[in-house]
Amino acid sequence: MIKKYLAKDENIIAKIICFILLVFVYNFCMGCSNQIEKNTENDKIGNKYSVTDSTGTVINFEKKPEKIVSLSISTDEILIDLVDSKRITAVTYLADDPEISNIVDRVKSIPNRAYGNSAEALLAMHPDIIIAADFFKQEMIQSLRDLGLKVYVYKTPNNMEEIKKAINDIAVLVGEPANAEKLIRQMDSKLKSVKNKVGSIKPSEQKRVVFIRSNGVFYRPESSFMDICRYANVKDATEDLHYTQSGILSQEEVVRLNPDAFVIPVWNYDGKHDPVQMKAEILSNPSYQTTKAGKNKNVIMLPAAHVLAVSQYTVNAVEDIAKAVYPENFN
């Protein structure tokens, strides 16, 4: 009888041990499976991927591009905050101009300058990818592709949200999406800071401005300057117009808009556009003298590197114009 019970107990113990071993083996195998899946996912992220540009062209990569060529000042500025400068083979010559570039010191180590007028010169750089704006000549883009080069064409942004999208798209292109998130957080932080200063200003109290260059006030139904003004709680007076076509406004039209201030960019790009002289010409113009801006001699000179930027640096223009129009809010 005792032997019978002992045999029965031994059988139960054996079953328990087998169960424990089965659980152990199961957990071990699941752990291995999860690790394999994790490694496979990492391989997908780290190696092959594809992107589609604004023209619908699909570009395939075996790995992140290491030799990047930029053909616009906007992508010069975006790239320098997304990738190590060692991965940038060329930026535009404008990146070296302190009046239009925000990255002069940061591009000194980049060896080449791209002018975009020679496919052979770009081919000689052996780029993994060339990034061009949608205003770049289609014939040149096709020539580069005919030479076997990868060309990514991005849509030129017209407002802050489109700038953020461009940053995200280019970050995906170069395999650095996390860096885009960081950059956009910095932009949002600057915009929030400005909003805290001027956000309480009512629409009826907003100052009216127009952006004027040497050839006059250029009107577009939607523009980056218009959007800059919105974030600064300033009214771009040309928003009152509802033309379907872009173009230079007549002086009579500008007078009717009656701005509180004229805004000009500080960029003497060819030695013939001295902003100080331009300011004097505006204030001496008999027609403009009849406006509020002319009567108060209110011409705001903003850094072109900010107000003409179509990159993360556009947020600096928001702060610039808010400070210039509402200085009392920043004391």
Question: 73-110, pLDDT tens digit by residue?
Answer: 999 999 999 999 999 999 999 999 999 999 999 999 99
4 has pLDDT over 50: no
Give the pLDDT of residue 169: 98
Query: What mean pLDDT comes out for the span 271-294?
Result: 96
Task: Tell the CATH topology of 50-156.
Answer: Rossmann fold (3.40.50)
Identify the residue with better confidence: 11 or 265.
265
For residue 314, what is the enclosing H or E element? helix 314-325
Asked if residue 236 has pLDDT above 50, the reply is yes
Report the percentage of the chain scoring pLDDT > 90: 84
pLDDT tier at 47 (50, 70, 90 boundaries)? Answer: confident
Write down the pLDDT at residue 11: 52
In tens, the pLDDT along 105-164 reads: 999 999 999 988 899 999 999 999 999 999 999 999 999 999 999 999 999 999 999 999
**pLDDT band for position 316 (50/70/90)?**
very high
Greater confidence (226 vs 33) lies with 226
Provide the pLDDT confidence category of residue 293 given band limits of 50, 70 and 90. Answer: very high
Q: What is the mean pLDDT of the chain?
A: 89
The pLDDT-based confidence of 17 (bands split at 50, 70, 90) is very low
pLDDT of residue 133: 96
- Model confidence at 32: pLDDT above 90: no
Poorest-confidence range of 18-32, 252-266, 274-288, 298-312? 18-32
The domain ranges of the chain are: 50-156, 200-330
Estimate the share of the chain in helix, then strand, then coil, as percent rounded to the nearest 5.
50, 15, 30
Residue 116 has what pLDDT? 86
Position 176 scores a pLDDT of: 97
Q: Measured on CA atoms in the order 21, 27, 31, 33, is the torsion positive or negative?
A: positive
Dist CA 91 CA 112 (whole Å): 7
Q: Please report the pLDDT score of residue 261 as a whole number.
A: 98
| Strand boundaries in the chain, DSSP class E | 49-52, 58-61, 68-70, 88-92, 112-114, 129-133, 151-154, 208-213, 216-219, 235-236, 247-248, 261-266, 299-303
- Label residue 279 by pLDDT band (50, 70, 90): very high
Q: What is the pLDDT of residue 205?
A: 97
Q: Residue 331: what pLDDT?
A: 86
Query: 50-156 with 200-330: one CATH topology?
Result: yes
Residue found by looking up tokens 């960019």 in the block: 265
**Per-residue pLDDT at 3 exceeds 60:** no
Please give the pLDDT value at position 181: 97
Averaged pLDDT for residues 284-305: 98
Please say if the pLDDT value at position 305 is more than 80.
yes
Beta bridge partners of residue 266, listed in sequence order: 303
Residue 178 — pLDDT band, cuts 50, 70, 90? very high
Coil, strand, or helix at residue 225? helix
pTM of the model: 0.84
CATH superfamily label, 200-330: Nitrogenase molybdenum iron protein domain (3.40.50.1980)
